[in-house]
Structure 1
């Protein structure tokens, strides 16, 4: 995520993928002595003391906890850093991490936290209230908003220091969902990251926290090594002496690393659906997590005719999403019935649901006065997204829309968007569940006035968008949980109707592990792994 010092440009001027994890990081600068940046091999290291994990995403994105959306670094940072509170990776229930307890009064506008006695960063420095203020001041600084800024500024007024071990969070209004969001404010050492260039070091890979594991080696595009931190005294002690996380984006070598007689890894995420059967026959456990993970379409509303809602709706109605689930996802997904996935507690079937209706799609195009439309569909080259693209093309071709598919490296796609190059439609993958599961947070990930996604879509200044953002703010402030949920669902109805950035399908993410070697592994409904409760079998 981002940096609140003058050393880092504001996000409006920073390329999105530099912190979201799709752009490669520059060569790493030296880090403090607690982290040795040696050229660790991607082979298994440390014998039976080392857990080897295979992550299906790049480790060369930003490692700044306040700025990153990189699946690899977010997952690793959950082992390296702590928030005042952290959350269970599945239930998302908050638990005391750096703080000694979870606040009990959820109706007030002040939460006081005491830091855990004896908590230290990986370089040996004690964690203090100044470190907490350092992180929150950055998140709340309007001059340099971070990626997580939108998850805090609507409800958090300020953070005050009481003394060296106590801080007070002052809320603008009672907001119980804020407890689970505190895990997004990972506490970072002020003495490290406040120095000149410190935030750039965080972007490039320097990671020094107070969590159970310290980063001991980091090779962008290859692997990152985490070692147990001997002085950790928190609630989730390390179970592994060393973990070697391999970054293997291509599916075939990733699957090969965990399967067969030569398997060198014990756990892997992002398992292709076609490999589930043979991995299970090899004795591995393969489990899925159904959540917000989705293939979405984003339209450039500044490029005619996509400024016309009827055209956007027509292209959604045209897609045979049932076929997409059956053929491309092999049954591991569902056509979208809302912006939220159906497992979300706040899910309500949207007022507008895009079932396969090519007749309606043709009629909407006629009403919009559009004929002979040609589309270049710009898409990320994530393997399962690429598998879905032929269904989109055949569906659009069937209603007379000549479609050319243009899958590219994720970096290339978002570089074009960051450079404000013209485009028509983008197909990509998204999963706000990396940040949390509450509906307000999920909506704000994609829809907010200063949101990068809205800038990409050229829609933030539209009158409907302005009304939507105002309604979202009112929903955030609503104290009654049932009324709040209804208000957010009403906002989602607007998002569904407008179809500016909207999911076509929600799908499962698959994780595989060797049950003869590991216990306590749970499949997540979002990218990455969490091994804070896992141990050797």
Structure 2
């Protein structure tokens, strides 16, 4: 898959705080193309056999808040895509935008003023009409959220022109990512409270929430929906199956028609059973972060030595069974804006030792903090072996994501962090992705305090220049950014992971004679069911 850059205008995304950490900073995967496809669903074009069933899905993530103005819940975000419309939506198969509540592209009044008209007759599932005031209230809630506010730095305001038209004012002339940023605003009734949004938000999409619990989320068709993507089935039912073995068992026996986050050891098993397996290369990283506030990590040669010491190919083969790629840039090769960085950390033990010698430090005892993600735990053992061989004495300290970041944010000393992260659940343009970790945010201020360095200032100057440029000149500036973050390696990907989902797509071979027509995996967390329906044998 190629991620298509549609041009940039302003550094619009500052990074990670609060509950968004649950998705993008603390432990999920990436986004990208497809590998194995056993063919289209048998009889799926026969309308008599299509729809009227239940889309059963095995979710790898436990629910928390569903508030579309602030949620960092992977399953919450994914379910909300189907329930709560924005003016525009994002197709996570290729990161293009499409119309949801908007009738057309934003109309340009001048280079910083745009108007968007709401679909005629659009109603929330409670029967109330969607108005411009609802859009304004939803934007206000997002902009007031510590977690989502950075998305909207390029915005001056969103106001109601009349009942069905909003006026958007930007700080950036001809802001080319306007639809992408507007797609992040999911529109709920202005009268719905934050507390109620968190529990069970109301939307105008093709589906509406029927029930939400710790073990199951059920969506039913929204009878008020008048858009292009009407629900064809009776229900979407997410079973919360955080244990990978339970997810695989449910999928193999047909209790679910689709599951996300297939583990590497289950791919052959599910394909042999008859499932279609989608293997999608995406941005999702497993990264290392150094505590540059203290030695020896404030020495770039030591950081580079660690990166060269890592036997990435062993990690890819042993931990990921090949379902990851070594980072040769901040972006994966599948992304349109990819450019091989000036420094690529191919395993080189001799070079690593030479850099240690040049740095003048003597390796000693260090703490490698990790989250409890299974892939991270697998990588950690190899990292320890590699760094022990470099002369360090590594102790691994593993905690939940929440506990890990709470400790670091609370000032607890650490040396190196190994963790997963993926901001591409919100978008995939280079500006957004660069600013996620390297923006003026908690990452560069305190977790990996690189913000005061001359290199960080240079990086951000180039990022600003990229936003003011277009075409080849813009790409050139981004390439310089990729080089700086690779050369300095204060926080950098070790691998970009592939996300694997499995679905029954042929009802003639599915255990219960029912399958999904139109389902394709995506490279970030959760599952997209727009245009998907059950089919029967």
The TM-score with structure 2 as length reference comes to 0.86
- TM-fit CA distance, 1:18: 7.0
Partners of 1:176 and 1:482 in 2: how far apart?
16
- TM-fit CA distance, 1:453: 5.8
Provide the residue aligned with 2:62 in structure 1. Answer: 58
Provide the residue aligned with 1:131 in structure 2. Answer: 134
Aligned pairs for 1:15-164 (under 5 A) are: 17=21, 49-60=53-64, 62-103=65-106, 108-140=111-143, 144-153=144-153, 155-164=154-163
Partners of 1:440 and 1:20 in 2: how far apart?
15
2:488 corresponds, among 498, 509, 517, to 498
CA deviation map 1:511-537 (0-9, x unaligned): 000112101111111111001111112
> Are 2:177 and 1:177 aligned?
yes
Partner of 1:113, secondary structure, is strand
- TM-fit CA distance, 1:21: 9.6
Bigger mean CA offset, 237-246 vs 469-478 = 469-478
RMSD over aligned Cα, in angstroms? 2.4
Structure 1 gap segments, 5+ residues each: 1-10, 24-46
- TM-fit CA distance, 1:398: 1.4
Partner of 1:375, secondary structure, is strand
Partners of 2:20 and 2:504 in 1: how far apart?
36
- TM-fit CA distance, 1:366: 2.3
CA contact (8 A) 2:116 2:165 kept: yes
> Are 2:239 and 1:255 aligned?
no
Structure 2 gap segments, 5+ residues each: 1-14, 28-50, 508-514
Provide the residue aligned with 1:527 in structure 2. Answer: 525
Aligned pairs for 1:115-514 (under 5 A) are: 115-140=118-143, 144-153=144-153, 155-171=154-170, 172-193=172-193, 198=194, 200-203=195-198, 205-220=199-214, 222-260=215-253, 263-452=254-443, 454-478=445-469, 480-514=470-504
Partners of 1:133 and 1:246 in 2: how far apart?
34
CA contact (8 A) 1:81 1:210 kept: yes
Partner of 1:412, secondary structure, is helix
Partners of 1:483 and 1:245 in 2: how far apart?
45
Partner of 2:191, secondary structure, is helix
Q: Which has the higher contact order (CA 8 A, sep 6+)?
A: 2
- TM-fit CA distance, 1:219: 1.3
The TM-score with structure 1 as length reference comes to 0.86
Partners of 2:418 and 2:349 in 1: how far apart?
20
Partners of 2:411 and 2:129 in 1: how far apart?
44
Bigger mean CA offset, 275-284 vs 454-463 = 454-463
CA contact (8 A) 1:17 1:414 kept: no
Partners of 1:311 and 1:56 in 2: how far apart?
37
